[in-house]
C-alpha cells in the first residue's frame, strides 16, 4: 500500500507540472469550447443549456488527453520497475490480458471522444461519417464495447453476474452483450454528467478511490497501479477544473473515463456495486433517458431541463452548490457500495 501511495503522489506531481503548459498549448491550438447554440438528440435547440453555459465559451477542452497519455505511458513503466526491483506483483487474471483490456478501453474510447471534440471544436461541416452524428458515435461505441466484452469472456473467463445477498448467475456468452451495455451506458452517463465545473471529475475521483480499495483487497496489483496512476493525474486535473474551470475534460476524457470505470467494475466482478458507487452517473443518465423517451412517445417533457444537474440549475441552485452536494452524495454512495462489496464478497 505504501508503494501505491507513492505512485499516486508521483502521478499527481508529474501531472501538476504539465497541466499549466498543456493548458497554454490548448489555447495556442484554439482547442476551446465555442460559443454556439447546441442541439439535443432530436436536433432541437436547448436554450436552457445555452443560458447556463454561455460563460464557459473559450475555455480549453481536451484535458482528459493528458491524463490518458500520462497514465498509459507510466502504467507499463511502473510495472516493469516493480519487476526489476523485485516488488511483489500479484494478479487475479492473466496479467497481459488484463493490462491489454484496461489500456485498450482507456485509449480507444479516448480516441473516439477526441474525434468528437475535434468535430465540435473545429466545426467540421461534413455530415457523413466524420461528422460523427449520434448514430455513428453510438455504432463505434458498440463495436469497441463488444470487443472489450469478448476479451473479458474469452481471455479473463469472466462470465458470471453476482447479485449481492442472492448469488451467482452463470451467463456464458450472454455476458458479452450485458458487459457491452454496461460499458456504453457508463461512457454516455459520464459524458452527460460532465456539464458542471468539477462535477464528473470529482465524482470519478471518489469512485476510483473506492475501487482502489477493492482491487487492493484482492491483491490485483496491475489494476491497483492503473487506478492510482489515473487517480493521481485526475486530482491534478481537478485543481484546474473546479469552479471557475480553466480546462474541461472534453469528450476525449468523458467517454474514456466512463467506459474504463465500467471495465474496472466488471473486471472486479462488481457490476451491481458499480451502479451504487457510480449512482450519480446512473441518476444523471436516467434523467436524460426519461426526458428523451417522454418527448419521443408522449410528445412532452417530464422535466423543464435534463439531466438532473441542469434541472437543479434551472430551479435556482448555484453551480458550486450542486457540485459540492453531489460530491457529498457520491462519498455516501461509495461507502455504501464498499459495504455491500465486502459484506457479500464472493470468490473470484
Residue 325 is assigned to a structural domain of this protein: no
Residue 21 is assigned to a structural domain of this protein: yes
CA distances 114 to 101, 119, 169, 193, 245, Å, are 20, 9, 37, 18, 20
**Which structural domain, as residue segments, surrounds residue 220?**
2-38+46-157+170-268
Computed over its alpha carbons, how large is the radius of gyration of the chain? 20
Question: What does the pLDDT read at residue 348?
Answer: 46
Q: Which three cell numbers stand for residue 94?
A: 492473466
Residue 243 is assigned to a structural domain of this protein: yes
**Quick one: how far is CA 306 from the chain centroid?**
19
Residue 250 is assigned to a structural domain of this protein: yes
Q: What is the mean pLDDT of residues 196-212?
A: 97
Residues 78, 232 contacting (CB under 8 angstroms): no
Q: Which three cell numbers stand for residue 39?
A: 442541439
Residue 305 is assigned to a structural domain of this protein: no
Does the pTM surpass 0.85? The reply is yes
DSSP assignment of 45-79: B-HHHHHHHGGGTT-B--HHHHHHHHHHHHHHHHH
Residue 34 is assigned to a structural domain of this protein: yes
Which of these ranges, 36-50, 133-147, 222-236, has the smallest mean pLDDT? Answer: 36-50
Residue 176: in which H helix or E strand, if any? helix 175-193
Question: What does the pLDDT read at residue 38?
Answer: 62
Q: What is the pLDDT of residues 300-329, one digit of tens each?
A: 888 888 899 999 999 999 999 999 999 999
Residues 307, 195 contacting (CB under 8 angstroms): yes
Question: What does the pLDDT read at residue 347?
Answer: 46
Burial 225-234 (b: 16+ CB within 10 A, else e): bbbbbbbbbb
Residue 7 is assigned to a structural domain of this protein: yes
CA 335/CA 273 separation, integer angstroms? 10
Number of domains in the chain: 1
Residues 88, 221 contacting (CB under 8 angstroms): yes
Residue 196 is assigned to a structural domain of this protein: yes
Amino acid at each position: 500500500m505504501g508503494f501505491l501511495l507513492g505512485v499516486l503522489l508521483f502521478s499527481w506531481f508529474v501531472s501538476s507540472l504539465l497541466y499549466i503548459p498543456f493548458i497554454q498549448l490548448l489555447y495556442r491550438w484554439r482547442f476551446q469550447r465555442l460559443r454556439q447554440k447546441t442541439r439535443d438528440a432530436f436536433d432541437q435547440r436547448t436554450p436552457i443549456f445555452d443560458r447556463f453555459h454561455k460563460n464557459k465559451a473559450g475555455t480549453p477542452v481536451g484535458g482528459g488527453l493528458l491524463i490518458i497519455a500520462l497514465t498509459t505511458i507510466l502504467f507499463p513503466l511502473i510495472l516493469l520497475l516493480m519487476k526489476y526491483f523485485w516488488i511483489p506483483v500479484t494478479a487475479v487474471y492473466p496479467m497481459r490480458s488484463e493490462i491489454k483490456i484496461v489500456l485498450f478501453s482507456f485509449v480507444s474510447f479516448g480516441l473516439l471522444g477526441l474525434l468528437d471534440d475535434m468535430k465540435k471544436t473545429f466545426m467540421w461541416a461534413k455530415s457523413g461519417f466524420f461528422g460523427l452524428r449520434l448514430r455513428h458515435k453510438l455504432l463505434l461505441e458498440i463495436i469497441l464495447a463488444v470487443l472489450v466484452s469478448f476479451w473479458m469472456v474469452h481471455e479473463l473467463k469472466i462470465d458470471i453476474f453476482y447479485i449481492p445477498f442472492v448469488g451467482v448467475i452463470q451467463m456464458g456468452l450472454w455476458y458479452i452483450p450485458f458487459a457491452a451495455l454496461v460499458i456504453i451506458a457508463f461512457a454516455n452517463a459520464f459524458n452527460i454528467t460532465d456539464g458542471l465545473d468539477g462535477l464528473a471529475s470529482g465524482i470519478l475521483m471518489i469512485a476510483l478511490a473506492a475501487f482502489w480499495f477493492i482491487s487492493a483487497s484482492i491483491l490485483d496489483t496491475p489494476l491497483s497501479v492503473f487506478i492510482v496512476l489515473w487517480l493521481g493525474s485526475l486530482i491534478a486535473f481537478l485543481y484546474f477544473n473546479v469552479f471557475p474551470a480553466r480546462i474541461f475534460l472534453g469528450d476525449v476524457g468523458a467517454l474514456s473515463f466512463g467506459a474504463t470505470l465500467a471495465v474496472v467494475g466488471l473486471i472486479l466482478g462488481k457490476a451491481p456495486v458499480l451502479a451504487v458507487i457510480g449512482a450519480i452517473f446512473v441518476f444523471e443518465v436516467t434523467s436524460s433517458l426519461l426526458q428523451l423517451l417522454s418527448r419521443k412517445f408522449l410528445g412532452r417533457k417530464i422535466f423543464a431541463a435534463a439531466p438532473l444537474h441542469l434541472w437543479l440549475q434551472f430551479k435556482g441552485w448555484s453551480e458550486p452548490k450542486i457540485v459540492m452536494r453531489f460530491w457529498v452524495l457520491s462519498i455516501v454512495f461509495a461507502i455504501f457500495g464498499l459495504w455491500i462489496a465486502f459484506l457479500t464478497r464472493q470468490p473470484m
